[in-house]
């Protein structure tokens, strides 16, 4: 599995960059825990527990900061 879909940080729009940030966050979770069953059980937890929803959104924010810089903020 690719860790960075498309092997590039460059995207056409901020929206596409944001989707890439979400994908990169997810793919690093897959790389750490490749067992789909465990991940599915885990998802039930993190996607309903506000604590972990917020933590997940923080990882997306961090990945996006890097992608936005790579794209000169799509200025």
Chain contacts with its own copies (rule: CB under 8 A)? 2-4, 7-10, 13-15, 18-19, 22, 24-25, 28-29, 31-33, 38, 42-43, 45-66, 68-70, 73-75
Residue 64 corresponds to which tokens in the numbers above? 């996006």
Q: Rounded to whole angstroms, how far apart are CA atoms 71 and 38?
A: 35
Q: Residue 5 Cβ, how far from its own copies at the closest point, in Å?
A: 10
Q: Residue 3 Cβ, how far from its own copies at the closest point, in Å?
A: 4
What is the per-residue DSSP string for 39-70?
Answer: HHHHHHHHTT-HHHHHHHHHHHHHHHHHHHHH
Q: Residue 18 Cβ, how far from its own copies at the closest point, in Å?
A: 4
Q: Rounded to whole angstroms, how far apart are CA atoms 68 and 26?
A: 18
């Amino acid at each position: 599995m690719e860790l960075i879909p498309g092997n590039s940080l460059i995207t056409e729009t901020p929206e596409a960059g944001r989707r890439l940030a979400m994908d990169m966050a997810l793919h690093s979770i897959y790389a750490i825990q490749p067992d789909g069953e465990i991940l599915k059980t885990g998802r039930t937890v993190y996607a309903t527990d506000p604590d972990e929803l917020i933590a997940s959104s923080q990882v997306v924010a961090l990945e996006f900061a890097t992608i936005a810089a790579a794209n000169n903020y799509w200025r």
